[in-house]
A and B are shown apart, each in its own frame.
Chain A
Amino acid sequence: MSPADVNKEHPLDTKAPRLSVKKPETRYDKQGDMPDSERIEIAMRSFVRDFGAHAATYMESCIHCGMCAEACHYYVQTGDPKYTPIWKLEPFKQAYKREMGPFSFFYRTFNLKPKVTVQELEKWQELIYDSCTVCGRCTLICPMGIDIATLVSQARHGMFQAGLVPHELWAVAERAEREGSPLGATPKVFKDRIEWLADDHEIEIPVDREQADVLVSMSSIEIMKYPDAIVATARVLNALGEKWTIRLDGYEATNFGLLSGNAQWQKDMSMKIINAAVKCGARLLILPECGHAYGALRWSGANMYGKPLPFKVLHISEFLAENLNSGKLKVKPVGKSVTYHDPCQISRRGGATRAGRDVLKALGVELREMNPHGDLNWCCGGGGGVVTIHRADDLRYKVFEIKMKQVNDTGAETLVMSCSNCRQTFDDGQAHFKWDKTANSLLEMVADNLVE
């Protein structure tokens, strides 16, 4: 399908509890029309292209103990061994041993590890995409310390280049690359929204300032579904008296290049924001309530740029925590019991586990932690692009049951998180299960209780 047809063939479904393209009637699990032999060669070449000492160490180290299954919500909820995290990489392990491991000569000569086939990769598409949110819980249980989540992301590079991506994820990634947003939040739409919000809330939201200390980025989920997040961000920054701006040449922090496995698109998407920040001379880039945006910019941004970033990068929860801890930002106490859902990419994978809790402490809430919580939290099931994949819905609801139980067990009045992708996954789960708990934004809770 040509890119131009994507909008027509796969219109956005912005009325659904979670945003995606409308469910395709026919499944398109292959993109492009290259022959299978070429597909497999490209997949494996792309997979090994980024291969370095780290990934090779991991590939060499697995002892097939199966421990990782016990950390994975997909296995725990279904009992199906195919969801064992390291099994999701089996064809890639096979290809590594055959093509580039230290004993690859033996494996090839005696055909001890046969060549991976396209049919295998097609079968593995569900395991690499639909049933892995790249939450990294498995990384923390592995007795060999293998970072399985990183390997899954790397396997996605091969799958993307071979045109073996679940279609909805491919379509939103393609749209993001072409239009600047996966969910239709183009610069024009975003500008209109900002004008409407500024007018409606009588608040100043600076756009396209040539010089600013702080550049604010947003997630298209927020722009299209939770626009109050834009207002909340503006209220906080205005209260702090920051010289800040949103820039229409670099605002979209979600990175479907990263999620789908297209490294070039990932770079393109990151570079828009990086260039915008450099242009306006920002000393700080604030990332929105979006988990994988944090991984993409905070931990991979500089590597896309090829040198250290000339500005600091903070997730909005870190920014709030810093300013609340220092007393620059003041909030009224909230007399409620709250439970906090840790977004995997911010807490476990990002190292900002404390930030959300510092914010809640400043808000004076009674924090009732889930069991387990923090670095060992259970994923909501929507990360890693999974929430966009319709055929994964049943499985996603299955793993969401863990989350509902965790939240219910706390008995907390309010459920709070700092990731809009988690939030839309919770909203969708709430609608599906007719659950009585609603997900709330940490940022909005702060903005609603500001002492201005």
Chain B
Amino acid sequence: MDLLAFAKGPILMWSLIIFFVGVSWRLVGVLLLRRKPDYSEPRDTSPAWGAVRTVFTRMWVRKEFRARTAYAEVLSYVFHFGLAIVVFLFVPHILFIKSMTGLSWGGLPNGVIYAIGVITLIALIAVLIRRITQPVLRLLSNFDDYFSWLVTTTPVVTGLLASAHLGARYETLLGIHILSVELLFIWFPFGKLMHAILFAVSRSTTGALLERKGAAT
């Protein structure tokens, strides 16, 4: 079995199994913990609406904080949107998803995707530089932060190399690219990448609690 077949075969299956089992385990492990009843008299507000609203309103920072957070915000937006576009609007990715799920949609021209891939990579490198050089981030960072960065950035790099046919045979590059994505799947449930799911749980929790008090969410 060559590298590409290996990557597309058992490793893909196992990485997805680990992904789904791990994500479910982590979510269930949190969500099934007890919830104490709150007997305080709520204000005349809707906690459910507060929960839903906060999931969206925390997508941007309040204007009072913006001056101090603008650079980090812009970088985060660039690489998050960049990743989303490259993952979901690159035609070969759509074909791959179609082969697995039967779902498909229209993509962007390859040239546009390559440009966005490069911009995303630049933003990811800037994020890493910031993490290493900014004192707060340096203090907070642990293995998870750096490894999560690595498993996020590697598929971007290997994808760009495969597209450019740079460094090895295309099949080999594609095999490495798929393996790097599988590494991301495997790591996803264990580290901070899980925020792609937990953000909704965490934001809605606080949104509901604060809305109940009639406080700002």
- Chain A residues with a Cβ under 8 A of chain B: 51-54, 56-58, 60-67, 69-71, 75-76, 79, 81-82, 84, 86-87, 101-103, 106, 139-147, 298-303, 305-309, 312-313, 347-353, 372, 374-376
Which A residues touch B207, using CB under 8 A? Answer: 145
Q: In the complex the two chains form, is B65's CB within 8 Å of A61's CB? A: no
Q: In the complex the two chains form, is B205's CB within 8 Å of A145's CB? A: yes
Bound-complex Cα distance A76 to B38 (A): 34
Stretch at the interface among B103-111, B139-147, B150-158, B172-180: B139-147
Whether A70 contacts B68 in the complex (CB less than 8 A), given A57-B202, A350-B215, A351-B213, comes out as yes
Whether A56 contacts B33 in the complex (CB less than 8 A), given A143-B58, A375-B215, comes out as yes
Q: In the complex the two chains form, is B40's CB within 8 Å of A102's CB? A: no
Q: In the complex the two chains form, is A60's CB within 8 Å of B194's CB? A: yes
A-B contact pairs, 27 of them (CB 8 A): A52-B33, A53-B30, A53-B33, A54-B35, A60-B26, A60-B194, A60-B202, A62-B192, A64-B142, A67-B69, A69-B136, A86-B140, A87-B136, A106-B190, A142-B58, A144-B58, A145-B206, A145-B207, A146-B206, A147-B205, A303-B38, A307-B39, A309-B39, A352-B214, A353-B215, A376-B64, A376-B216
CB closest chain-A residue, reference B54:
A145
**Min CB gap B173→A, angstroms:** 31
Bound-complex Cα distance A169 to B171 (A): 67
Whether A71 contacts B29 in the complex (CB less than 8 A), given A63-B192, A298-B40, A313-B41, comes out as no
Complex partner residue of B134 from A56, A66, A139, A300, CB under 8 angstroms: A66
CB closest chain-A residue, reference B215:
A351
Q: In the complex the two chains form, is B30's CB within 8 Å of A84's CB? A: no
Q: In the complex the two chains form, is B39's CB within 8 Å of A63's CB? A: no
Q: Could you count the A-B residue pairs with CB atoms below 8 Å apart for me: how many are there? A: 171
Bound-complex Cα distance A62 to B202 (A): 9
B132 within 8 A of A: no
B:148-204 near A, CB below 8 Å:
190, 192, 194-195, 198-199, 201-204
Which B residues touch A52, using CB under 8 A? Answer: 33-36
Q: In the complex the two chains form, is B140's CB within 8 Å of A66's CB? A: yes
Which A residues touch B29, using CB under 8 A? Answer: 56, 101-103
Whether A140 contacts B216 in the complex (CB less than 8 A), given A53-B33, A56-B30, comes out as yes
**Min CB gap B115→A, angstroms:** 27
CB closest chain-B residue, reference A146:
B202
Bound-complex Cα distance A15 to B122 (A): 60
Which A residues touch B25, using CB under 8 A? Answer: 102-103
B52 within 8 A of A: no
Q: In the complex the two chains form, is A67's CB within 8 Å of B140's CB? A: no
CB closest chain-A residue, reference B30:
A56
B209 within 8 A of A: yes
Given A52-B33, A54-B205, A65-B76, output 13 extra A-B contacts at Cβ < 8 Å: A56-B29, A61-B201, A70-B69, A81-B140, A82-B139, A101-B29, A145-B58, A145-B204, A302-B39, A302-B40, A348-B216, A350-B213, A376-B62
**Min CB gap A292→B, angstroms:** 14
